[in-house]
Amino acid sequence: MKRPYIDMWSWLNEFAQRAYAMNDQPRIRLMTIHEIAFNQRETNPQQALGLCLEGLTQAEHLNELWLAMTFECRVVEMMMLSLARNEEAVDLATKLVTKVSQQAYINFPMRAWAFINLIIAYFELDALSYSDEIQAMIETLETRIPIDLDIHQRLYYFRARLWLGLREDGKAMTDALIHMDMSIQNDFRASYGYELLTHLNYLRHDDRNALDYAHLTEDKSLVSDHKVALTNSYYWQALFLALQGQTEAAHRLFVLGVAAAQSLNLPHDLSLLHGKCRYYEVKGDYEASLAVWDDQIRSMDQNTSKRQSYFYVFLHRCFVLRQLGRLTEADIVQTRQAALRLRKPDKYLPYIDTLHDGKLEIPRY
């Protein structure tokens, strides 16, 4: 039987109530910074990060160790989910996991936050190479660290994503459905869950169910103001309508997706280009898709080349080139080099083998 959940956030609400009751302006300022930073994480992530760092400094100055840790966890989130600073996020998240094991944080209700941040950081940087570490961290949270319902929901979400990366589609679907059942009353988490189910059903060629889940993603994203999931929902709907031959309706949704993506002010690494390229490819506009992949390659920073996202850009570009009849051995070597830069290349090299399977069509991804 699962042990009872804890309330991770009540202490922070109580902190705010005390600060307002005592008109404690320095601590009221901390709560204001935290709220503004969270609200700006998608639309102005650099400023949100700056606010979190300001809050961290002030919390440490006031000797509010728990609140300082809260800001540190937010910093990790900003780095990996809004700014694509994945290497820094892994380093900081690793340090925070060690830090929350110190005596000062043993009773800190948000200890689990540091652990799940490290799981996410592994995912953003190099999920397959860190698959063993991710599974171990999930096991730790399941059995050793007090968690709330929200963390437990997210464990199923990331377990499903891990199975997906490991090409265990049945296990991925099972855990995705469990996550969805647990998240149905949480619009923000449900938007993640419906988007994952959209993707899984698309990979299964169950486009009818996938489109239904894309609609649900849009609904939950609008209610919860989850702008990234909303953007992806437009791209997904455009793709499925294009598959149905509803060209005008598909184009309208695609334009909505492009506009929504541009409003996010995300770094180039987080520009949601997969949704854009899937749409071009299903329409047969391979040159447009190739241009997106090429532009992404031109913008790559060689100092951050040890990322799974870079490998997948090269891989998907190769599939487009194969479709166009222009794939060369140099392109394949370039993709292999991207895999070899990762922590465990053997996890990624089998994907390159599919370039020689004799097929022309672009596999669903």
State pLDDT tens for residues 63-81. 999 999 999 999 999 999 8
Angle at 111 between CA 42 and CA 68, to 5 degrees: 65
CATH number for 75: 1.25.40.10
Does some domain include residue 294? Answer: yes
Whether 287 shows a pLDDT value over 80: the answer reads yes
Final residue belonging to a domain, choices 102, 117, 145 = 145
Does some domain include residue 83? Answer: yes
Final residue belonging to a domain, choices 121, 145, 169 = 145
Mean pLDDT computed over 86-114: 95
Does some domain include residue 81? Answer: yes
What does the block give as tokens for 149? 């319902």
Lowest-pLDDT range of 18-22, 38-42, 99-103, 134-138: 38-42
Number of domains in the chain: 2
Residue 1 binned pLDDT confidence (cut-offs 50, 70, 90): very low
Measured between alpha carbons, how far is 114 from 169 in angstroms, rounded to an integer?
Answer: 28
Measured between alpha carbons, how far is 257 from 131 in angstroms, rounded to an integer?
Answer: 32
The contacts found for 200-208 with CB under 8 angstroms, 24 or more apart, are 200/160, 200/164, 200/169, 200/172, 200/173, 200/176, 202/236, 202/239, 202/364, 203/164, 203/169, 203/364, 203/365, 204/169, 204/173, 205/364, 207/240, 207/243
Final residue belonging to a domain, choices 145, 170, 204 = 145
Does some domain include residue 67? Answer: yes
Does some domain include residue 299? Answer: yes
Measured between alpha carbons, how far is 365 from 314 in angstroms, rounded to an integer?
Answer: 13
Indicate the burial class of 218 (C-beta count within 10 angstroms; 0-12, 13-18, 19 or more). Answer: buried
- The mean predicted confidence, pLDDT, of the chain is 95
Share of the chain above pLDDT 70, in %: 99
Q: What is the 3-state secondary structure (H, E, C) of 165-224?
A: HCCCHHHHHHHHHHHHHHHCCCHHHHHHHHHHHHHHHHHCCCHHHHHHHHHHHHHHHHHH
Q: What is the pLDDT of residues 300-355, one digit of tens each?
A: 988 889 999 999 999 999 999 999 999 999 999 999 999 999 999 999 999 999 99
Q: What is the pLDDT of residues 168-217, one digit of tens each?
A: 999 999 999 999 999 999 999 999 999 999 999 999 999 999 999 999 99
Checking phi first, is residue 206 left (phi over 0); if not, alpha (psi -120 to 50) or beta? beta
Does some domain include residue 72? Answer: yes
Does some domain include residue 326? Answer: yes
What global pTM score does this model have?
0.90
Whether 3 shows a pLDDT value over 70: the answer reads no
Range(s) of the domain holding residue 346: 284-365
Does some domain include residue 207? Answer: no
Whether 151 shows a pLDDT value over 50: the answer reads yes
